[in-house]
Every structure is written in structure tokens, then in C-alpha cells.
Chains A and B, each alone.
Chain A
Amino acid sequence: MSGTYLGMPAFPEAAHDAVRNPTLRRNLRHATHTIRDKRARAVAELEDWAGLRAAAKAIKDRTLRHLDHYLVRLEQAVTAAGGTVHWAADAAEANRIVTALVKATGESEVVKVKSMATQETGLNEALEAEGIRAYETDLAELIVQLGDDRPTHILVPAIHRNRGEIRDIFAERMGRWGRPAPDGLTDRPADLAEAARLHLREKFLRAKVGVSGANFMVAETGTLVVVESEGNGRMCLTLPETLISVVGIEKVVPTWRDLEVFLQVLPRSSTAERMNPYTSMWTGTTDGDGPRAFHLVLLDNGRSDTLADEVGRQALRCIRCSACLNVCPVYERAGGHAYGSVYPGPIGAILTPQLRGTGSGLDASLPYASSLCGACYEVCPVAIDIPEVLVHLRERVVQGGEATRNGVRVRLRPAKGHAAERAAMRAARWALDHPAALRAGQRLAARTRRLHPRRLPGPGRAWSDTRDLPEVPAESFRDWWQRTRGGEAR
């Protein structure tokens, strides 16, 4: 993934700072509670929500179990409609392909509609290194780009910024990227949006190359779908002469009809609207309307590795609605930066360590960035059992085991830093396998209960600092049973 995130501290350290930032916590709390309440109302309007959710899950499962079939079919359909399909095994290859395509047009700037896939590959930085400037055109992405910042939320990437901060960023930075902000810019959202409109419009009107992602790709017809609100997507998709879409291979759906499910569940889960303001659908190129050249770059970058894990595979059902972020008590307090990835929150905690592997300290810490409360699973429109995958990944981190990296089966060693956990689990297993030793240990613990410290020593200390240790009972359950009922017939 993007080099921006290299060297990020593990989740606990990053979150440690975030929870001490009162502005961040206030902004996040307001945002997550507002969206989650609205979402609940939008979902309640549909009496068949459970059926839609089940169908969405089933369609994605069908797609994933036959992904090769659908990708080949998609390629045929896009090609037949006048598009060109490219395949990228990893981020570097995707960036090389896009850079070469842009250079072939002779242009040195591109307009971009918000795209998780190109954030994941670090495309903007790769283009910059080749002398090509990429302009983000989603309002929130513009705030992030001008502020030299990183997104913190999938849907509203600049939600950690309040209006005063945004005003300062616009006033100070817009001039360096093009049309400066108007003099005397206030912090009213309408004025800030107007400044963005003026700043970006000149870029839209002269742009020759657009770069996008896509929410869905229909294998049957070769149709791509982009769902948005501001119209910047429509600008990028229809005004340039060349359109390059970088899309993860998991975004394919089998049939045109399948959109009837996803166009109902996505807006309501995401922005809590019946329908988002703008949805664009295009199939290859159309004479006289829109770009003359269309390139689709199909991105793997760890997705086939994720597919190889039968438990973790379900993370690829994700349609990036961000509902799980807004209900997560951990995300609400830690914010998106702490996850060290373009995919924050509960879905990031299971997707990132699968896409990137659990080799780094940060990635190994992500499966623990959760209280396992299950709220994320409840709201997920494609029913990803995020807690199940978290526990599965924790086991992989602690125990090691089989995984696929870059298409190759590898045996992972247990991650560093989990020695105490592993030792405790080994000891527990041994004790439970040896009832006599367990009984003796329980009696010893009971007899010495007055002497136990309130805090654990050594590596257990951090754990006991924030928790009350359970009282050791005077007598174990087994001894109590033996004493009171031991004589009874079974």
C-alpha cells in the first residue's frame, strides 16, 4: 500500500495520542453518531432489509467463488464496448500502467474522483514522481490534499477537521494549487463549498485525463458504476478525453440485475439517503458523449491472497459503505489515522492485515483494534462477520500458520511481542489437559488469595492497569461441587 503509511506506529501507540485530542474526539463523536442515527432511519424505511442484505451477501459470495469466471467475462464485455482492460498484480504495476497511459496522452495533469484503490496504491505520489500532477476533486479529498494530510474516514475523509481548520487550509493553500480562495473567506460551509467549486471548476474545464475508481463493475454488460454526491465524479467521468479507472478485482458483480440490490443497500448504509445525488454508469465508450478512450485497470494487490483465506475471504464482500466505522466504539475514539491504512475502522482491521500481511508491527496490531462487540457485523449490508475474521487473524498473529502472500503459500511464524500471550495459552492448555494439576493450582491460588497483587507484574501490567483483576474465589467450583453434591448419584 501507499508509502505514506510506512513507519506508522502500531495501533495502540497511534490511538494513545488520538484519544488525547479533544477536537478530534468531538468531531468524530458528532460525525459517527449523526450518521449512524440517520442510517438506522433510512434502513427502517425498507421492510425487506433483511432480504436485501441476504441477497447482497449471496451475490458477493457467488462472485468471489467464481471470480476468475466473472473477471474474464467482464474483460470481454468492456473490450467489446470499446474499452481497454489492463491487469495489475500489485500497486507498483498499477501505478506504472496509469503513469504510462497518462504520458501517452502528452498531458501532465489529471483530475481524480475519490478512489480508495488509487489511495491504496499511492498513485498520486507515483504520478508526482513522474512529473504529473493529480488533483483530488472530492471536497473532503481536496481538504486532505491541500492540508498535506491523510484521510480518516472512508465516506467523509476530512471528518476530523472542523470548519475553522478547513477555512485556514483553503485560505493558506489553495493558491499554491491553482485559483486562490476568495479574500475574506469565512468558515460557513456554503462559502467553503463555493471556494472549492471555483477552485476546481477551472481544472475540470481544461482537464484532458480523468482518473477514477468504481463502486461496481457488471460482468454481464461491462458497465462501471460510480456513486457520488457532489458532481465532481460526473465531471471527471464525462469531461476528459481519456478516462482511466483503477478498480479492485473484488468490485465485480455478475449481472445488470444485481445492481438492484446494491443500489438499494449502499446509499442507505453509507450516507443514509434513499439514493445518493448522482450515480454514473458507463459501458466502454459512447460516440459523441464522454471520453473517447476508456482504460480499466484491474487491481489485485493482495486481493487474491485474501481470497485464499476461507475465513478472511468474506472481507472482499465489502462495498466500502463505512457503516461499520460509524458504530464502532474503538473507531469513534481513536479516529482513522491510528489504523495506518486507507481502510480504517472495523473493516480496515480485517482488510488491511490481509491485503498487506501481518508482517509489520502495525499490521499485526490491527486485529486487536476492536472490542469484539459485534456492532459492525449488525450494520454491515453484506453481512461480513468482522468479529469472526478478527479472532481468526488474532490466532494467525499469535500462533502463525498458513497464509498466502503474493500468490505463494507461506508458513507464518508467530508475530513478535505475543510471547506472554502464547505462553499463557500454552500453560492453560496444559493445565486443562491435566485435571490433577489444575485442581492443585486452583487450591493453591485460593489459599493465597489475600496475598495476590492488585496489578500484574511484567508484561501483564498494561492489561491490569486498565482493568480490575477478578477476585479468586475461596473455593473452586469443582471443590464446591465435590463438597456439596459429591455424594449424590449421577
Chain B
Amino acid sequence: MGGGGPAGGSRDRVLARVRRALADVPRGERPSDVPVERSYLRTHGRRTAEETVALLAENLADYRAVVHRTTEDGVRDLLMVLLARRGSRSVLVPPSLPPHWLAAADPTRVHDRAACTTRQLDAADSVVTGCALAIAETGTIVLDGGPEQGRRRITLVPDHHICVVRVPDQVVASVPQALERLDPRRPLTWISGPSATSDIELDRVEGVHGPRTLEVVLLETDRDGETDREGEPGGDGGDEDDHDRGGRDGPPYADG
């Protein structure tokens, strides 16, 4: 640590100022006494699971991600074609990417390890990952560092990212539904389309620092009826400001 003076000094000073500044707040008022009306919607519109996936595809494409659809049988050929079309010679893979996904692909697989330097990552042409979930209403994929996704840096440094989303299992309709399913203790990266800037005369330019090309593969998995999350009632509706919720359970979805 460092800085001026004992850390406790400024901590106490700032907290004392804040408390003095709130002299008008009645003693005994608790945070939960300040009402927060949550009359907003948990999802916007009612859709079937298929329609939710279609909306995801539409919104991803709207922000210039390239969307593909395939099945378990077709995924290895699709990934091979996507990497070949790009001319990729090396592809970064997270620790537990399903091996059959890249079974047909030519490029050298570079397994991300703690010892990999950023220069080595920079030399990779492409990266292929899974995801934690995807949000249809906003066209967003979310990575949480699970074994199919790897460290945050591997989806950042290469210029080409292929992300596989299992549909409909990994697709939620809305931002509130996504937060319910995510674990805040994991490092999270939300991605909506490729890297972009509008800083020059508001002209949108793709790819400043992150991948310039984002391809999303919507991988249809066999439906067993239990995974249908559509029509599930929204949040509990209660006022959530319970400070004693304590440890969350791990993410309710499986990682592999």
C-alpha cells in the first residue's frame, strides 16, 4: 500500500463526511425502507424458444456479427470451413473445448496455458470458444471463463473469434434473465457484435482492439423437453435487498 497517511484516516474521514451529509435521513431508516418499484418487464414480448433464438440471430447480425446455424453433426465441417475461409493457420482453444468441434479443421491448435505470453496470443489467427449464455433481446453472448471459454484474454487478442452457442439451452430472452443465471464471482465478458468505435465523426468502424470479426455458431442440441425455459415466470418479485443472501450457488448450468 502507499499513498498519503494511514489508510484508516481517509476511510474514516470520508465515511464521517458521508454520514454528516445524510443528517436529513431519519435515524432508524434502513435501506429497504427506501422503496424500489420493480414494475418493469422481465422480458419484452412473449416468444417460443425457437423465436427467441431467431431474435438472437437477428440482433447479433444487426450489430454485424456473422451468424451461422448448424447441428451436432454439422459443427465440425462448419468450423473447418469458417477457419479455412479465413485462411487461419493457427487457432487458440480453451482447455475443454469439445474435441470433435475441431476434428476436421486444419489449423494448428494452440492450447492456452498460463505461460502463454501476450505475443504468442497475438500470433494466433483465430480463437474458438463456447459461451456461458446468450441474450436474445440485446444480441449479446456472455463468457464466464468456464473450461469451454478459457481466460478472458484469448477471446480478446486474436482478430477472429468464433463463439459456439448451444440453442436453445444457452439462450435467455433478456438481461434480467441473464443476470439470474450468472455467477458474479466469475470474471464475465459480455460481447455484442465485434469491437467497434464511433469516435471519428460518428462513423462506425469495426475492430479497434478486440476481434474485428465475430462469428457466432448457433448449435442446435437435441431437445429433451426439460430444457425449455421459455414461459418460466419472471423473478420472485420480492424486494431483493437482502444483505444476508450469503454465498450463491455455482452457476445453474453445466460447463461441459
Contact = CB atoms under 8 A, between A and B. Distances in A.
> Real complex partners, A and B?
yes
A87 B14 CA distance: 7
Interface in B104-149: 114, 118-119, 122, 135, 137-140, 145
Contact of A304 (B14, B139, B194): B14
A236 B13 CA distance: 31
Contacts of B207: 193, 197
A108 interface: no
A87 B152 contact: no
B209 A235 contact: yes
Tell me which of A47, A156, A197, A249 has the highest count of chain B C-beta atoms within 10 A of its own C-beta. A197
A257 B241 CA distance: 9
B240 A255 contact: yes
A93 B190 contact: no
A230 B208 contact: yes
Interface string A426-440: 000000000000000
A234 interface: yes
Interface stretch (B71-79, B195-203, B221-229): B195-203
A143 B209 contact: no
B184 A229 contact: no
B63 A234 contact: no
A52 B40 CA distance: 6
Contacts of B210: 230-231, 234, 277-278
Given A62-B34, A88-B10, A96-B4, A274 B201 contact: no
A308 B184 contact: no
Contacts of A93: 3-5, 10
Contacts of B211: 231
Interface stretch (A218-226, A417-425, A454-462): A218-226
A260 B179 contact: yes
Given A218-B184, A234-B152, A257-B240, A308 B199 contact: no
B254 interface: no
Nearest to A236: B209
Contact of B208 (A156, A193, A275): A193
Interface in B35-60: 35-41, 44, 59
Most buried by A among B5, B22, B23, B153: B22
Interface size of A as a range = 35 or more
A77 B36 CA distance: 23
Interface stretch (A97-105, A393-401, A445-453): A97-105
Interface stretch (A3-11, A280-288, A339-347): A280-288
Contacts of B153: 238-239, 289-290
A200 B193 CA distance: 21
A53 to B, nearest CB: 9
B151 interface: yes
Given A156-B198, A231-B208, A255-B241, A298 B14 contact: yes
Closest 10 CB pairs of A and B: A100-B2, A231-B210, A97-B3, A231-B209, A308-B21, A51-B40, A304-B17, A275-B138, A279-B190, A62-B34
Given A55-B39, A279-B190, A407-B16, 20 more contacts: A31-B202, A51-B40, A55-B38, A62-B36, A65-B34, A71-B18, A81-B185, A87-B11, A93-B3, A93-B10, A100-B1, A189-B201, A238-B153, A277-B63, A281-B184, A281-B188, A281-B190, A286-B187, A289-B152, A290-B153
Interface of B: 1-5, 7, 10-11, 13-25, 29-31, 34-41, 44, 59, 63, 114, 118-119, 122, 135, 137-140, 145, 151-153, 156, 175-176, 179-180, 184-203, 205, 207-211, 235, 240-241, 243, 245
